[in-house]
Structure 1
Amino acid sequence: MATKKLCDSFSKTLIDEVHKWGSMKQMGVSLRCMLDFGSVQSERNMILAAQFLHRELPVRIARRAIELESLPYGLSEKPAVVKVRDWYLDSFRDLRSFPEIKNANDEREFTRMIKMIKVRHNNVVPAMALGVQQLKKSLDPKLDYEDLDEIHQFLDRFYMSRIGIRMLIGQHVAVHDPNQPPNCIGYIHAKMSPIQVAKDASEDARSVCLREYGSAPNVNIYGDPSFTFPYVPAHLHMMVFELVKNSLRAVQERYMESDKPAPPICIMVADGEEDVTIKVSDEGGGIARSGLPRIFTYLYSTANDPVYERLDVGSADVVTMAGYGYGLPICRLYARYFGGDLQIISMEGYGTDAYLHLSRLGDSQEPLP
């Protein structure tokens, strides 16, 4: 069955406009800028923010839609990828057909619309994962995953852009919420405690491990509990959850048949001048050096393949992370989005240390693909 090309489902006028907007320059925003702007919640600021999004979102969405149309190895033709492309084009059309924002009423309508766009894109990660699985099934099994570098680079750009789009929409929508917790400005917590977030994320990861294996190693957390800095708790929770979940699984599987008790996972939080660094250490046996380059690719997972079981995953981005082999590469993108990074250092035969660096200054611009 031939896949519908763009021009079959969308008008030529729209496609021309997508190409026009896709060639425009994107404007990166920093965490500090979002924090400062959101902390003064005047009607004027809300209108200015909406006007910025009205211009910025179509540029970012158009770029991804164009790229989705011309992927290597026939990935663009996979049904799941066509579906994602159509979501992007629908969102582009909604944004472009929304009139100029002139007053508070326009701004409220616009906010309602972008909230719907965010929901429309909830399942982009599992849908793209499914597209990649469909591609893997059709490729020569002898093909080395390093040969699929173009696809890895595309997915890095695509998911980084998605993090940015969701952050901008989510931040604007959340600033409207009258029931925001104290010190929260939209998605950003001005006084976030990394120790507290690490505790919550570890408990969530342990409960997943308990459910799967019937027991779970302990997690010990070290650092100053009173230390806080501005960051997005949901992003940090997701990253720590993923790292701890991987460590728990490695330790659990290594000690399952052993008489010795499973050693705990250790989390260390260090606050430096420039970076807050969170180290997650385990004694789960480590990763062979030959396998290390593969842990950041999207076509490699050691877990079972859950994509087919639940493409109807709920709206929580966190749930859609587990087991696609997407956890680590997407974690690294979240860290890099606000100027941080993720490094994995392994001692085969002993264990693994993951270093999550977060920029404490919050002044780096979004890395726009």
Structure 2
Amino acid sequence: MAAKKLYKSFSNLKSLMEEVHRWGCMKQTGVSLRYMMEFGSKPTDRNLLISAQFLHKELPIRIARRAIELETLPYGLSEKPAVLKVRDWYLDSFRDMRSFPEIKDSSDEREFTQMIKAIKVRHNNVVPMMALGVQQLKKGMNPKIVYEDLDEIHQFLDRFYMSRIGIRMLIGQHVELHNTNPPHCVGCIDTKMSPMEVARNASEDARSICFWEYGSAPDVNIYGDPNFTFPYVPSHLQLMVFELVKNSLRAVEERFLDSDKVAPPIRIIVADGLEDVTIKVSDEGGGIPRSGLPKIFTYLYSTAKSPLDENLDLDSTDAVTMAGYGCGLPISRLYARYFGGDLQIISMEGYGTDAYLHLSRLGDSQEPLP
């Protein structure tokens, strides 16, 4: 009943936006990988209740901040149909969160968990939809504009996607604590994750897409200690390594397409230091000219033809292509930075590219909240 009453009070957009602005001014609370791991190691009813109560207050603040930013983007980006759709998803999720009554017992907590699960699904296609919005913006722009100059848009997208990573991590972690996981997993976190194994799986996925697109795929050789493990979120590492290997495969494949030579393999080296685990992905795909390096971490740049089509039904698709959204690398760097790591690209034009993915072993850095 309480939920219905609140829902009615938001029935007009004006009162909803006032509420969004009120929550958007509140302070966000960051958590660390170590905290999530320690807290989630005992998923008792009481702990799940505390977690749900925290999310009940924290998620509307984070969602409100993004909804406000989506309203006020430069160069008319806020008016693009795809961006309006994303904004509506955020407003719907904010309304759902604020319409949910106080969480008092396990029954409330279970209901709340189902709701945030649905919110996570609602936002599944935010990245391609925002990429489509950026494309709609580019279409109407003066071609002489240098995309790196559109700093405000890049900074907004960095904040926006970093916040999205955090929201999805918090929801995913809470939902996953309800499931039966292997003993060394705490929600989404694998306390004994093998970076070699994740790199192998990500490479196989990237190679199968390369096969599908080009009819062949270079080998990927992985070097490192197969017994080494450390606590991390495997799905995050999978996404980053997949992106790096996919880029390398494409570069090598296109460089050796009409050549008699055998395409050289991609090399992945996993090194475990005291502070960082570093994964290096090296290719001989011809490299990137120095003038092109600043562009690779911008959201408005891709050397590939875009797979995004104005008429694409993004509510149903989850297609993965070799390239073209123009946001794989910058988003991978955000995933690395989310838990205190980083991503660097060093290239030799005429030879190849090395990507260095640094992951913090310590797990004690707070979420970098935008």
TM range (shorter): over 0.9
Corresponding residue number in structure 1 for 2:113: 111
In the TM superposition, what whole-angstrom CA distance separates every residue of 1:244-303 from its partner, at most 9, and x where no partner exists?
011011111111111111111000000000000000000111000000000000101011
Residue 319 of structure 1 aligns to a residue whose secondary structure is coil
Write the letter of the residue equivalent to 2:193.
M
* 1:71-86 paired onto structure 2 within 5 Å: 71-86=73-88
Answer whether contact 1:321 1:327 (CA < 8 A) is retained: no
* 1:247-326 paired onto structure 2 within 5 Å: 247-308=248-309, 310-312=312-314, 319=320, 322-326=323-327
Give 1:319 deviation, angstroms.
3.4
Answer whether contact 1:76 1:82 (CA < 8 A) is retained: yes
Corresponding residue number in structure 1 for 2:186: 185
Give 1:313 deviation, angstroms.
6.4
Gaps of 5+ in 1: 1-7
Give 1:311 deviation, angstroms.
4.1
Q: Distance in 1 between matches of 2:77 and 2:345?
A: 29
Give 1:322 deviation, angstroms.
4.1
Answer whether contact 2:198 2:238 (CA < 8 A) is retained: yes
Say whether 1:348 aligns with 2:349.
Answer: yes
Corresponding residue number in structure 1 for 2:3: none
Runs of 4+ in 1 over 4 A off after TM superposition: 313-316
Q: Distance in 2 between matches of 1:243 and 1:50?
A: 35
Corresponding residue number in structure 2 for 1:175: 177
Q: Distance in 1 between matches of 2:157 and 2:359?
A: 22
Residue 266 of structure 1 aligns to a residue whose secondary structure is strand
Q: Distance in 2 between matches of 1:326 and 1:302?
A: 11
In the TM superposition, what whole-angstrom CA distance separates every residue of 1:92-132 from its partner, at most 9, and x where no partner exists?
11111111111101100100110111111111111111111
- TM-score, scaled to structure 2: 0.95
Residue 285 of structure 2 aligns to a residue whose secondary structure is coil
Corresponding residue number in structure 2 for 1:5: none
Corresponding residue number in structure 2 for 1:136: 138
Q: Distance in 1 between matches of 2:316 and 2:188?
A: 20
Gaps of 5+ in 2: 1-9
Q: Distance in 2 between matches of 1:87 and 1:74?
A: 19
In the TM superposition, what whole-angstrom CA distance separates every residue of 1:143-187 from its partner, at most 9, and x where no partner exists?
111221100100000000000000100110111113x23411111
Corresponding residue number in structure 2 for 1:148: 150
Corresponding residue number in structure 2 for 1:67: 69
Q: 1:90 to 1:349 in 2, by over 3 A?
A: same
Q: Distance in 2 between matches of 1:149 and 1:347?
A: 26
* 1:152-163 paired onto structure 2 within 5 Å: 152-163=154-165
RMSD of equivalent CA atoms: 1.6
Corresponding residue number in structure 2 for 1:4: none
